[in-house]
Every structure is written in C-alpha cells, then in structure tokens.
C-alpha cells in the first residue's frame, strides 16, 4: 500500500510540475512582464533595473524553480490589470464558485438519482423512454444555452428570479456566503440549475446502468421472494448498492464543474473565479491566468488521486494494476 501511495503521489506531483511548466512558459514568453508593469515614461535604465530585480535575466531553470517554489506557497505575483496580489483576488472569488458548484452537485444528485432509478425500474415504459430521450437532449444542450433560456424564461418573461450577480452576501471570517440571505439564495437558483443540467444526465445514466445490473442479482430476487415491498427493494436495497460509483463520479466531476462554472459565471455575471479568469483572458492578465490554471488543475489532480487511493485502499487488487497503468484516468 505504501509503495502504491508513493507511486501515485509521485505521479500527481509529476503532472503538477508539467502543468506548472506550461503555466510558466505562458507567463514568461507571451507578453513581456516588464512591458506590462512599467508606465510609458519609464527609461531604458528603469526597465533594465526592473528586469534585473524580477530575476528575468536568470537562467530558464532558475526561473522555473523560483516559479514553482513561489506557486507552492501560493504566491503568483501581482495582477497586471488591477495591481493586486493574485492570490488575494482569487481568494475573494473562491467562495462564490465553491457555493455554486456545491449547490449544482446537490441538485444533480437529488434530481439525477431518482430519475435513474425510475428509468431502470420501469424500463421500456413510456415514461422511461421519454426520460431517456430527455437525457440525450440534456447532454446536447450547451450549458450557456440553458443559462440563456432560463434567464429568458424566469427573469425576462416571468420576472421571478434575478438574472445576474450574487445578491446580498454575509461575511463569515474571510468566507462570504450568499446562502444566508433571501436575495443570495434567489440569485443562486438559475446559475446552479444551468450548471447542473449536464451533471443530472450524467448521474441519471450512471444510476440507470448500475440499477439494471443490480436488479438482476440474486439478493434482489430473494428480497422480492420474501415479500419485501417493491418500493423498499428498489429504493433501499438495490439503490444502496449503486451509490458507490455515483459517489466516485460526483467526486471526480467536481473538478470539471469548477472549470465549467466559468461558462455559467459568464452567462450570469456570477462573481466567481471563472469570471475572473475570463476577464483575465480578455485583458491578457497572465499572472491571474497562470494562477487559475494551476489552482483548477491542482483540485482536479488532487481529487483524481484521492479517488484512486481510496479505491486501492478498499480493493487491494487495484494496487498493482493502477500503479502499472499510471496517470489520472479522467
């Protein structure tokens, strides 16, 4: 187990170093950092001095090592656009994205699991076929289109829910939450729904496939033979056995949801990390781009590694195979 743990950690570290290299190359070679930081009147001597002070004359390896060391301590430098510490900027935006992703995940589970069970239990019924078709539609709808249609329906036509922003927030320490005020909760509804559409269909399809397997197994037949009520067999006995893969999928998808939240955040002008990133892309604010890339990749790699390690811990047979195959299976 220890060998597996070391191997898996080394793998994750390798991937993070490669991502850091990518971020560093973008940071260093696209757009001159000195040109971005000085004002128009700076003389040639000023520029040379700044260049020396920033260490841009050092060798590639030295600069890369410094970049990684700083990044590991959460130091990504100063934003070109608003001259603020990048990590402070991201830290301010993180709670908004986190709450959005959390609520979207909860919605996807609460809606997706029952739909999956229904389509599996009543297979080939009209309802199940309609839901199955609906799931293909759900996969095919781009999340920004869902967002726009929701705004058109619930904000423009009906005027029930706000179309942009986060509403009022309450600060708890450094964490600003929108979950405690009515306007904050109302503002969360549409973005969370639009972010969760894809995830709902994913959960639904997975639960359906797992349930179809489980319903064929002996213990379900015996439970029926014993006269356990149908609903109890389906929703308690069978469903419980399907939940492990759902938990895995949900865990691994959180990284994807954080990345995909940037689309939702753009549609709803939700003040999260994704919106910050898109604005940074428009203004070529490279330190912010590099920091966001590193942070999201870190969360992604961390979740993948945790899932792999948990699996290997539960099932010793996987230790050897997974170590051989290596890499994150995203």
Partner 1 sequence: MADISPMTDTPKPPAETALPRRTRLTALRESDLWYSFRSHPSAIFAACLLALVALSALLAPLITPQDPYDLAALELWNAEIPPIWNAQGQWPYILGTDTQGRDILSAILYGSRISLVIGFASVMVALAVGLSLGLIAGYFGGWIDNVIMRLGDVLLSMPFILIAILITAVATAALPTHLKDVLAAPILILAIAVPSWVQYARTVRASAMVERKKDYVSAARLIRVKAWRIMLHHILPNCMTPILVAATLNFGLAILSEATLSFLGVGMPPDQPSLGTLIRVGNQYLFSGLWWIVVFPAIQLCLIVLSVNMIGDWLRDALNPKLR
Among 156, 170, 180, 236, binds partner 1 (CB under 8 A): 156
Does position 13 interact with partner 1 (CB under 8 A)? The reply is no
CA angle 318, 206, 323 (to 5 degrees): 15
CA distance 326 to 293: 22
Tell me which residue of 250, 253, 263, 283 sits closest to 97, measured CA to CA.
Answer: 263
Strands 175-177 and 170-172: antiparallel
Report residue 33 as tokens.
């950092």
Report how far apart the first and last C-alpha atoms of the chain are (Å, whole number).
22
Q: Per-residue contact track with partner 1, 227 to 266, x per CB under 8 A?
A: ----------------------------xx-xxx-xx--x
Q: Taking CB under 8 A as the rule, does residue 284 contact partner 1?
A: yes
Report how far apart, in Å, the C-alpha atoms of 193 and of each of 22, 24, 95, 271, 272 are: 33, 36, 18, 17, 16
- Size of residue set near partner 1 by CB under 8 A: 51
Q: Of residues 30, 60, 160, 222, which one binds partner 1 by CB under 8 A?
A: 30
Asked if 78 interacts with partner 1 (CB under 8 A), we say no
User: Which three-class secondary structure state does DSSP give residue 195?
Assistant: helix
Does position 10 interact with partner 1 (CB under 8 A)? The reply is no
Minimum Å gap between C-beta 230 and partner 1 is 27
Single residue of 293, 309, 312, 322 touching partner 1 by CB under 8 A: 293
**Interacting residues toward partner 1 by CB under 8 A:** 11, 14-15, 18-19, 22, 26, 30-31, 133, 136-137, 139-145, 148-149, 151-152, 156, 163, 255-256, 258-260, 262-263, 266-267, 277-278, 281-282, 284, 289, 293, 296-297, 300-301, 304, 326-330
């Amino acid at each position: 187990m220890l060998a597996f743990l070391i191997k898996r950690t080394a793998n994750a570290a390798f991937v993070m170093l490669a991502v850091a290299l990518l971020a560093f190359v973008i940071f260093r070679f696209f757009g001159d950092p000195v040109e971005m930081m000085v004002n128009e009147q700076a003389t040639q001597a000023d520029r040379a001095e700044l260049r020396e002070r920033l260490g841009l004359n050092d060798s590639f390896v030295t600069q890369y090592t410094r970049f990684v060391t700083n990044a590991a301590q959460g130091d990504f430098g100063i934003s070109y656009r608003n001259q603020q510490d990048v990590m402070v900027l991201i830290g301010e935006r993180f709670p908004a994205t986190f709450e959005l992703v959390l609520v979207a995940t909860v919605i996807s589970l609460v809606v997706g699991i029952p739909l999956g069970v229904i389509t599996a239990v009543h297979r080939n019924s009209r309802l199940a076929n309609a839901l199955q078709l609906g799931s293909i539609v759900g996969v095919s709808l781009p999340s920004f289109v869902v967002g726009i249609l929701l705004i058109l329906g619930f904000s423009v036509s009906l005027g029930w829910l706000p179309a942009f922003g986060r509403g009022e927030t309450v600060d708890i320490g450094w964490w600003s939450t929108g979950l405690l005020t009515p306007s904050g909760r109302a503002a969360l509804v549409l973005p969370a729904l639009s972010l969760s559409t894809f995830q709902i269909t994913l959960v639904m399809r997975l639960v359906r496939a797992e349930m179809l397997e489980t319903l064929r197994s002996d213990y379900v037949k015996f439970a029926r033979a014993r006269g356990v009520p149908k609903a109890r067999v389906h929703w308690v006995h069978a469903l419980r056995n399907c939940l492990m893969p759902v938990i895995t999928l949900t865990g691994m998808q959180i990284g994807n949801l954080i990345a995909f939240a940037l689309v939702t955040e753009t549609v709803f002008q939700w003040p999260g990390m994704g919106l910050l990133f898109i604005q940074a892309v428009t203004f070529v604010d490279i330190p912010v781009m590099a920091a966001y890339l590193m942070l999201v990749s870190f969360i992604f790699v961390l979740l993948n590694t945790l899932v792999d390690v948990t699996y290997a811990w539960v099932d010793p047979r996987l230790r050897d195979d997974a170590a051989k195959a290596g890499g994150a299976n995203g």
